[in-house]
Structure 1
């Protein structure tokens, strides 16, 4: 009778699974089909989707060719990786792309070719550890159930069919005999930055499976208890004795045998790790994880601004180097953008391989809200404009860099009077993108007005913000609506960001689904491009990057958005307008905010301006406006254009752009023994002190 009941339950369970799986798949196909239909009738989709699918190509197993600027000066680590990958390609004719279907099911994140290589290698490892992935997804799916019903974790373990789990064999072939083994070895050296995300559809699939397994397991136990009363009575007695022995502190043999234990064996020598927290299967890697997994050194430096904000200054250190580069991200970005393209395609690694001491700045504006005041409110934290980026954040980080380099290079100074005479034994070059470019210009100009050293030797500005009046209709309408609604939004909306961890996690998971469903991803990409004026950057791919996670997702302060709108309306690169002549007089010493374009003559270092012909966020004409004003002011400035959209400057693997940036860095000569003191700024306002407005 028991066997008949088990058979009926098994057949019913598999039938329910098949029905629910097919229903879910049909719903997903319907959504993807409707998206494809909508995508086919949207205008201008060809130009928007052009060139963004490079991040979604199947992984290749040929190591990326070293760019020209890395042929002389590449680090020994990357040179070994390059030679190793090329040798393995020439020594084996095996077609590694045989798992093409798997690649379509699990498309990669927008990283470099070597990163895509690594992810394909790591995906084969998932076949050997799929139970771990299922457990993680089930943990996330049952998180609300745990909160509501206090569901024990051991139910999850009991529901997993461990008997069918594939185990690693002890008789694996050698590296020379197994291409898979060689692939695993290459993955060990190249990169461990794998895509750990699971989409909402995948989570639903596993949640449904676990729910069905749990329900039928419960029914099976009930049926077994009814059909086998003797066994049920024995189980109840053993449970009662175990409870009694536990209360009397006398260990029971039956109780001890029922506890889950880990047994070591030759095939699986490592004990399983027991985790008490739920893994939500989102990719929450940090910049530190990416850097260290690629084999580079890393250092984290906490910097405190004068108004109490705690910033993270990250470093790929070359402590004895006198060539220093400081990279500053743009709006809704972080230091992750400078390393997201892997070993070959990232500016940070390129500069390090050229012998530079690399510093990665992070502006204020993360949802983690780090501040010396632990009780700071959301409104107080987000009460800043672009002014504070240029007069608080960047000065704090540059001065910290200066203190670090002076301390590290102090032993090389033979003359003790050099330090007292403002000697700077290093050269500091800044590479900034978008909003970071506007902030570094504010920093350089205000430091000169205040007669303080800015310590920079060169600025390379990639599509810098500042001028925005030549923009698309979408931005013009947004500016009009923003000024119209600003009086109503300002008291209730301190910043534009996703306030809860759940919805930030949901966005990260949806980005995965956008990759799995090409039509849905294309539709979202097209709609997002419309919002930003038709820019063809891979907006969907960027949403899947690790720094858009539930912990430290960037946000935009209301005053930063208002400051950008003010620049667009005034057609000037000006500092923040506080709304009244009296307020401006208190901050700037004049009834009008400081027009930075009029002070370009104070820039005493070379500036390289780079624009993107496909950039619709900051058009080339606006970057050219910077160039014209600097040229008229006598600044040593250059201007270049590339066939890139706005995000391509940081998130795409652009060898031509990296070659240009590296060539500009090499123009910075060796540090002089004695640097000049800042010249007096005659005829300019010397008493400028930009306040935080708090």
Structure 2
């Protein structure tokens, strides 16, 4: 009778699984089909979808042709867990169920390692505060989805907690199959060789959750049936359990320990069984790789440097060190980006790795603006943290990082060549190294602001050459969409600024959801194409690979870059004024206190202070910063008498300069960098003086 019940339960369980699997599969196909229908009627999609020519389309959600429990005599749930556990072996341990207010340590984000530094030092992590009733409303609306994603894992933990504490008998233990070991090894080798995307989408997680829920329910039914048909055995096991408890046996380990999933149905003696270990908290994993992970996996050295600005913000300066090099390069990202944008596509086409291979000491800067809110004041509020504009990027962040580069390089070169280093804090030409900078979008505007303000203050900027890729600053010729956004920002600033200090996703759950939706957009081309088109409409028709960018690892559940409301307001001020101005504080007295004049500083009027070569690059397909805006920078510098300024255009959209890493652009950038050579005159002069002194000492000793 027991065997009959086992068979009936096994068939029923697999039938329910197949029915739910096919129902979910058909629903997803319906959504993808409707997306394809909408995409077919949207205008201008052909140009917009050009930006996703490098888009990785890998549909992975497919329905079975035959009931999977009939294949090889193993359960479909067993195979599903086995396949997912291979990826889970290489994924990071993440507790997706913990809230932002959790006291536990959260894995550092790609922006990143400043979080790790601050936890290990006196700079402790700031407390997190909710964004008010708006956040509560969003949480209430999406509460059912959160429950649907979390409850199955709880059910699985409850139903398997008792079985995991009991040692299985030798005859019931099954070793992993050779195929599973081979597949796991292959996946790990592939991960080491390249920066692998290990995420799973929302649809895949729903499938996993449903499988776990069904397995848990039928497991309970099976245990009840076992107790009914084998009361004596059940009584013996109960006595054994009580006796082991009385003897002081250890309880089940914490929920971070991997649970053993026995992939067998009730009639396990008759089925081919595979045992795998899977981390339950990885069942909803996201790709939380850091910039360090990508760099080291590609075989390059890495160093993280913590930088503290004058106003207390903790920044991360990342480095691919070449300590004896007299050539250094500093790369600065744009808005809603991080250093990950320069390395995410790997070695081919990236200026980061190309510069290192050609002998440069590479530094990657990260501007302030993280959800983790790294600050020396651990109690800083959200409103206080996000209270900054582009002014602070150019006058606080960039100076702090460049001065740290100067400090590090000078100390290292002095240590390596103590008799050849000439330190001069006022003359860039006499530095023991040459520093070039590559900046994109907002990073370009911040760098220009840094150079001009340093020259006005008569402080050294330490730069030998500047390459600006689609730099912000002038926005007079932007699209109608940005014009509407400009007026909207200027209108609602007094109302929204006290409530919404920044544009970012405040909770780990919703950041995890965005990260997983990006994977679904890859798995379902029509849905991804529709989202790509809609996002492109929002940003003025730019054909950049927006879907690919949303899927970058720094958009993960642990941390994410955000945009201060004042930064957006500052950009709106620039567009309204038609000039490259510093932040307008709204009153003559406030501007007078900040700038010494009733109006904000017009940086374009001071372009004549730039005393080194500048290379400007624009994209013909760029709708965010149009070529005419970049050309305006060039013409203004030319008329101001900048000694060497060049202008070039490529067939790129806005994000192609960093995310796509084109070979044509790389060749151009490296050709400009190679024009700068370390100044050996001061070194040779100092060396000759040293040799003369040594020769004089030898004569005197003789």
Bin of the TM-score, shorter chain as denominator length: 0.7 to 0.9
- In structure 2, the partner of 1:17 is 17
Match of 2:490 among 458, 483, 488: 483
Q: Is the 8 A contact 2:159 2:216 kept in 1?
A: no
Q: Which residue of 1 aligns with 2:636?
A: 629
Q: What secondary structure is seen at the aligned counterpart in 2 of 1:343?
A: coil
Note closer, same or farther for the CA distance 1:488–1:29 as it changes in structure 2 (3 Å cut): same
CA distance in 2, matches of 1:608, 1:8: 74
User: CA shift at 1:669, angstroms?
Assistant: 2.2
The SS at the match of 2:500 is coil
Query: Counterparts in 2 of 1:251-650, with a 5 A limit?
Result: 280-411=284-415, 412-414=417-419, 418-419=423-424, 423-635=430-642, 636-650=644-658
Match of 2:675 among 643, 667, 674: 667
Q: Deviations over 1:186-227 (max 9, x none)?
A: 847733x21110000000111111111111111011011111
Shift of 1:349: 0.5
Q: Say whether the 8 Å CA contact 2:88–2:282 is kept in structure 1.
A: no
Could you tell me how far 1:150 is from its partner in structure 2?
A: 7.9
> Which residue of 60, 67, 70 maps to 1:105?
60
**Paired position in structure 2 for 1:4:** 4
More displaced, 516-525 or 414-423? 414-423
| Residues 311-353 of structure 1: per-residue CA shift (max 9 Å, x gap) | 0000000000000000000000000011111112211111111
In the alignment, what sits opposite 2:204? 202
How far apart are 1:466 and its partner, in Å? 0.1
Structure 1 residues 187 and 6: alpha-carbon distance in aligned structure 2, compared to 1, 3 A threshold: closer
Q: Give deviations 1:546-572, integer Å, cap 9, x for gaps.
A: 011122211000100000000000000
Cα 1:212–1:462 change in 2 (3 A) is same
1:594-616 deviations in whole A, cap 9, x for unaligned?
00000000000000000000000
Is the counterpart of residue 52 in structure 1 residue 56 in structure 2? no
Name the SS for the 1:344 alignment partner: coil
| Rounded Cα–Cα distance in structure 1 between residues aligned with 2:339 and 2:490 | 31
Q: For residues 675 and 581 of structure 2, what CA distance do their matches in structure 1 show?
A: 30
Q: Report the Cα distance in structure 1 between the residues aligned to 2:94 and 2:304, rounded to whole angstroms.
A: 34
CA shift at 1:525, angstroms? 0.3
Q: Is the 8 A contact 1:427 1:668 kept in 2?
A: yes
Question: Residue 432 of structure 1 contacts residue 461 of structure 1 at CA under 8 Å; is this kept in 2?
Answer: yes
Q: Give SS of 1:575's match.
A: coil
**1:526-563 deviation line (CA, Å, top 9, x unaligned):** 00000000000000111111011122211000100000
| CA offsets 1:254-306 (integer angstroms, 9 cap, x no match) | xxxxx9999xxxxxxxx998969556310000000000010000000000000
CA contact (8 A) 2:620 2:652 kept: yes
1:31-180 equivalences under 5 Å are 31-56=31-56, 103-105=58-60, 130-133=84-87, 143-144=150-151, 151=158, 154=161, 166-168=177-179
Q: 1:394-427 deviations in whole A, cap 9, x for unaligned?
A: 0000000000010011142536775577541000
Q: Deviations over 1:137-173 (max 9, x none)?
A: 9986874567799847737969999959533589x8x
Aligned to 2:658, the other structure's residue is in SS state helix
Partner SS for 1:376: coil
> Partners of 1:220 and 1:183 in 2: how far apart?
37
Q: 2: distance between equivalents of 1:532 and 1:158?
A: 55
Could you say what secondary structure the match of 2:363 adopts? strand
Structure 1 residue runs without a partner (length 5+): 58-102, 108-125, 173-179, 253-258, 263-270, 676-694
State the match for 1:177 in structure 2. none
Normalised TM-score (structure 2): 0.78
Corresponding residue for 1:214?
A: 216
Within 5 A, what are the aligned runs for 1:648-659? Answer: 648-659=656-667
Deviations 1:472-523 (A, max 9, x none): 1111111111111111101101000001011001000000000001110000
- Mean CA deviation greater in 297-306 or 224-233: 224-233
Structure 1 Cα separation of the partners of residues 334 and 443 of structure 2: 5
Query: Paired residues, what number?
Result: 587
The question of whether the paired residues in 1 share the 8 Å contact of 2:619 and 2:627 is answered with: yes
Instruction: Indicate if the aligned counterparts of 2:608 and 2:641 stay in contact, CA closer than 8 A.
Output: yes
Asked if the contact 1:323–1:355 (Cα under 8 Å) also holds between the matched residues in 2, the reply is yes
Aligned residues of 1:131 and 1:162 also touching (Cα < 8 A): no
User: How many Å separate the matches in 2 of 1:216 and 1:511?
Assistant: 33
Question: Structure 2 vs 1, CA of residues 523 and 416 (structure 1 numbering), >3 Å: closer, same or farther?
Answer: closer
Q: Which residue of 2 aligns with 1:26?
A: 26
Question: Which of 608-617 and 42-51 deviates more?
Answer: 42-51
Residue 105 of structure 1: SS of its match in structure 2?
coil
Distance 1:648 1:142, change over 3 A: closer
Q: Is the 1:384–1:559 contact (alpha carbons within 8 Å) kept by the matching residues of 2?
A: yes
Rounded to whole Å, the distance in 1 between the matches of 2:671 and 2:641 is 23
CA distance, structure 2, for counterparts of residue 441 and residue 326 of structure 1: 14
Structure-2 change in CA distance of 1:419 and 1:452 (3 Å): closer
| Farther off after superposition, 457-466 or 663-672 | 663-672
> CA offsets per residue over residues 47-71 of structure 1, 9 Å max, x none?
10014132326xxxxxxxxxxxxxx
CA distance in 1, matches of 2:18, 2:154: 29
Provide the C-alpha distance between the structure 1 equivalents of 2:370 and 2:27, rounded to a whole number of angstroms. 36
The CA distance in 2 between the partners of 1:627 and 1:356, in whole Å, is: 27
Q: Is this contact kept in 1: 2:156–2:212, CA < 8 A?
A: no
Compute the TM-score of the two structures, normalised by the length of structure 1: 0.79
More divergent stretch after superposition (400-409 vs 226-235): 226-235
Deviations 1:70-129 (A, max 9, x none): xxxxxxxxxxxxxxxxxxxxxxxxxxxxxxxxx54289xxxxxxxxxxxxxxxxxx9986
Cα distance in 1 between the residues matched to 2:44 and 2:612: 42
